[in-house]
Structure 1
């Protein structure tokens, strides 16, 4: 599945636009990992809610260019925009960070 610009959270994101706005509490949802299905809306980032390995695909990477964080502790922030979290290779759980 190729990059889908309509799911990209960077539009209006104060951390990407170069001008930071006042801090606010981000919202998020628990991610259901899948080896084949992208997130309904790309996540601006991820936070680990159950420690373990997290295999994910940054939003603009090719499908084969995955990243795996090994032994990620609870509270660890994945700073990439993410379009998929893989079931295979993921032993922890994550939630999205949304503006």
Structure 2
């Protein structure tokens, strides 16, 4: 991962509501959640949620899919794990080790 990409991903997460949103979706897993359910769970107004979903999606941290009249959002585990790998690639004196609790979805 290039440093510029890492900065983009980290900047998208550097806000309380977006971080809570991303963590919620990571907990939910690859099936994701519909936008209305996310708004209800986080207690966020729909227009505010739309803004945060757009920011995370534009950064490449979320994927979306249409099912009927609902849009489901899910984390992009490949992007998340790529960021974690980038952040930890030189840990432990340069010995490459995967984070012990990294997601195995990708």
- TM-score w.r.t. structure 2 length? 0.27
- Structure number having the greater helix percentage: 2
Query: Relative contact order, CA 8 A, sep 6+: which one is greater?
Result: 1
Larger radius of gyration: 2
- Structure number having the greater strand percentage: 1
